Amino acid sequence: MDHSVTLRDRLRIERSVWALDQRLYDLPRRSRIATRREVRQNLLTAAHDVGATEALHHLGNSRQLAAEYRSAEFGDQARPAWMAAALFLLTGQLVLTSLLSEAAQAFGDGIVAASPNATGTFSWHGIPYLQDAVRYTVSNGERTSVGGAWTPLAWIIWIAATILVGRLWRVVSIRRRREVR
């Protein structure tokens, strides 16, 4: 029996394809696009045959389907999460830089607030273990600053956290398994 596929049915199919695609970001781009096209075409064909509601019902859970596609592409071993690592890498950089610069700015604001016409050199040791010392030179309330950079420990913590969040240590085990084969 041939069912007509309405605009609403097409939108429901696209939403399902999009939900699946969001879970397939670990796949290579070409493979992800091919999977998306295949699923879309299969759903449209099934919607014509049995109706869109039934076709979507038989598709199942997008999380499980995505796991099966990833397993077919990479095997069942644990994989690194590249998107999570990249997101944390960039977000962590922005957040920590913002935090440290705001802390240094607050110290400078405090100098001028305490004495609007201050003149001299003032030093702040920064946030311990994360930030270098900041030196403010103030002349009649006008200030300039030097310092406040990340310490080596802050860089190490940021890189280690990125590796942990993205589970990037798994790259080594995947490469070893490929070399053994």
Question: Taking CA 7 as the corner, what is the angle to CA 6 and CA 12, rounded to the nearest 5 degrees?
Answer: 95
Task: List average pLDDT for each run of 10 residues in the chain, which is 181 residues long.
Answer: 86 93 85 92 92 88 87 76 91 95 93 89 92 92 90 96 89 65 57
Q: What pLDDT does 36 receive?
A: 92
Q: What pLDDT does 180 receive?
A: 60
Q: What pLDDT does 174 receive?
A: 61
Gap between the Cα atoms of 11 and 18, Å rounded: 10
Predicted structure pTM score? 0.59
Q: How far is CA 75 from CA 22, 78, 139, 171, 178, in A?
A: 19, 9, 65, 14, 11
Q: What pLDDT does 29 receive?
A: 86
Reported in sequence order, the residue ranges of 27-149 that DSSP labels E, i.e. its strands, are: 120-124, 134-139, 142-147
Gap between the Cα atoms of 134 and 131, Å rounded: 9
